Amino acid sequence: MAAAFLNTGGYALVFLLAILVPHVQANVAVFDNYWTQRQGDALKQTIASYDPNPLNVTDHLNYHVALAVDATESTNNTRRELIGRKTQEGSGKCIAHNPIDKCWRCDPNWEKNRKKLAECVLGFGRKTTGGKDGPIYVVNDSSDDDLVNPKPGTLRHAVTRDGPLWIIFANSMVIKLQQELMITSNKTIDGRGAKVYIMEGVGLTLQFVNNVIINNIYVKHIIPGNGGLIRDSEEHVGLRTKSDGDGISLFGATNVWIDHVSMTRCTDGMIDAIEGSTAVTISNSHFTDHQEVMLFGAKDEHVIDKNMQITVAFNHFGKRLEQRMPRCRFGTIHVVNNDYTHWEMYAIGGNMNPTIISQGNRFIAPPNEQAKEVTKREYTSYTDWKSWNWQSEGDYFLNGAYFVQSGRPNAWSPKPKNPVPSKFAIRPKPGTMVRELTMDAGALGCEAECIYNEQFQIIIIFIRIHYISSCPMCFLPLILNQNRNSCFLCRSNCH
């Protein structure tokens, strides 16, 4: 471990030297003391967040998938009901298919136990807790008019506060961001119980921050921002350059979990993780209509990205996507149990010797005979890339899709210092199960428990009659549920 640490320390040194060269730095127009401090802290976090035993992390995830699948199978639900359609709202039955969802989704009190979510992350981002240690902040205002002194109740006000916050939404809303949303450390953006669309404006930026969860929102039609003066924390306002138009942009961000996000059409990348970003999990998300989906590592000279470790799990890469799912430089990327139903050029690619562990995905190739290969090595000759560790295990290939492997199996962790506990040494669930594991990818239509007061009694009784007639399964919980401040079981599920 000491050797690994020294090694990454070496990259850090190179990186430190690199940043002394004055050039545009990560959209910060004025790199003042404040940003120098934040960058220094982030760099330490990058090095501290690197896991010297990645095999342990990948096997741990696969072990939990196996447990979740076995549990789903043993509940004796008719399998026909599970396959081929989303878990139906109003059916009275909640079925979560993968271990992340199983951890919280079928709890009828999920809304009261929102912070339970923070215990559900798996993969390289597994230490992310977001705003778990802080109070709940309710966003009740969709405007974004003041970038320097955001109004209390807006999302921009929430994410720029000091200290941990668990941010939720009073109701469904469309938020058009005027400029990049500068999210600070120790935050959770929890869109469950509302439909929250971040759209037709600028995207989300996580720059030199640690510990952020983004859950259950829509990010659509994102455009570049012109920059200018933007608040980036309670005590600091900074001048920023033009942004690229990424949906979610991670610069030197560590311990980040992006889950159940639906993304469509951004100008640049959908999710970019660059310049020392690591300990990231992207799960249960749904992507459509985009050219360059995910970029992990932006430049060949950013050797700090050797510390990058990212898990991409249970996502659905859907219609009209072209390439980069993801495209990687350096780092170790675990791509597991995702459903790739569309790509136009390739699915997974990169250069600069990244390690790619592809396990139990489903790859459906496009009709184009030239685009059947899942993988793409960019700007590198065979003699160089033949030793890169790009391995496929349990993937399911359809329509002529094929993965060109290189390197050696398990080479990403040749001699773990502490061997993986034997119970975790389990094979990934195969790509044939992916359709089920990713069935609910994207933002969920969670309904928050309805809290009502005396005036609304009559309305509620009406709704109840409607529910009893449309949903006989809900009848029993209705009778049992005598607590006026709680709602019917079938409405508080998170489907």
- Using the rule CB under 6 A, which residue among 60, 176, 376, 464 binds ligand NAG? 60
Please say which residue, 124 or 396, places its beta carbon nearer to ligand NAG: 124
- To ligand NAG, the closest distance from the beta carbon of 5 in angstroms equals 14
Nearer to ligand NAG, 74 or 469 (CB): 74
User: In the structure encoding, which two tokens stand for residue 318, read together?
Assistant: 């859907």
Restricted to residues 73-102, the positions that interact with ligand NAG (CB under 6 A) are 74, 76
Sites for ligand NAG among residues 251-310 (CB under 6 A): none
Structure-block tokens of residue 82: 């599970």
Token pair recorded at residue 379:
């700007």
Q: Are 225 and 176 within 8 A, CB to CB?
A: no
- Give the nearest distance from C-beta 468 to ligand NAG in angstroms: 29
Q: Is 363 helix (H, G, I), strand (E, B) or coil?
A: strand
Give, for 287, the enclosing helix (H) or strand (E): strand 286-288
Cβ neighbours of residue 386 under 8 Å, at least 6 residues apart? Answer: 406, 407
CB of 83 to ligand NAG, least distance (A): 17
Neighbouring-strand partners of residue 398: 364
**Quick one: tokens of 483?**
């607590």
- Residue 434, H or E segment: helix 434-437
Distance between CA atoms of residues 117 and 138, nearest Å: 17
Q: Is 186 in the site for ligand NAG (CB under 6 A)?
A: yes
Interface region with ligand NAG, contact rule CB under 6 A, candidates 53-61, 199-207, 334-342, 474-482: 53-61
CA distances from 426 to 58, 64, 147, 238, 283 (A): 10, 10, 49, 48, 20
Could you say whether residue 153 binds ligand NAG (CB under 6 A)? yes
Site map (CB under 6 A) of ligand NAG, residues 415-434, x = contact? ---x--x-------------
Q: Is 456 helix (H, G, I), strand (E, B) or coil?
A: helix
Distance of CA 424 to the CA centre of its chain: 23
The residues, any chain, with a CB within 8 Å of residue 142's CB and separated by 6 or more, are 154, 155, 173, 174, 175
User: Binding of ligand NAG at residue 10 (CB under 6 A)?
Assistant: no
Tokens (6 digits) for 317: 């890469």
Segment contacting ligand NAG (CB under 6 A): 52-60, 191-199, 381-389, 457-465?
52-60
Please give the structure tokens belonging to residue 49: 């967040």
Structure tokens at 299: 């430049």
**In this structure, what token pair is assigned to residue 417?**
């210092």
For ligand NAG, the closer of residues 134 and 350 by Cβ is: 134
Six-digit token pair at 103? 């951890």
Q: In terms of CB distance, is 385 or 424 closer to ligand NAG? A: 424
Q: Site map for ligand NAG, 195-234, x if CB under 6 A? A: ----------------x-----------------------
Catalytic one of 105, 324, 362, 377:
324
Active site residue 324: yes
Please give the size of the binding site for ligand NAG, defined by CB under 6 A.
Answer: 15
Among positions 89, 107, 133, 244, the unique one binding ligand NAG when judged by CB under 6 A? 133
Cβ(25)–Cβ(276) below 8 Å: no
Q: Which of 56, 62, 216, 486 binds ligand NAG (CB under 6 A)?
A: 56
In one-letter notation, the amino acid at residue 117 is: L
Q: Are 62 and 393 in contact (CB under 8 A)?
A: no
140 binds ligand NAG (CB under 6 A): yes
185 forms part of the interface with ligand NAG (CB under 6 A): yes
At 218, is the secondary structure helix, strand, or coil? strand
Nearer to ligand NAG, 60 or 116 (CB): 60
Q: Would you say 185 or 353 has its CB closer to ligand NAG?
A: 185
Nearer to ligand NAG, 9 or 135 (CB): 135
Interface pick for ligand NAG out of 39, 53, 375, 391 (rule CB under 6 A) = 53
- Which sequence positions are flagged as catalytic? 324
Q: Residues in the site for ligand NAG, rule: CB under 6 A? A: 53, 56, 60, 74, 76, 133, 140, 152-153, 164, 185-186, 211, 418, 421
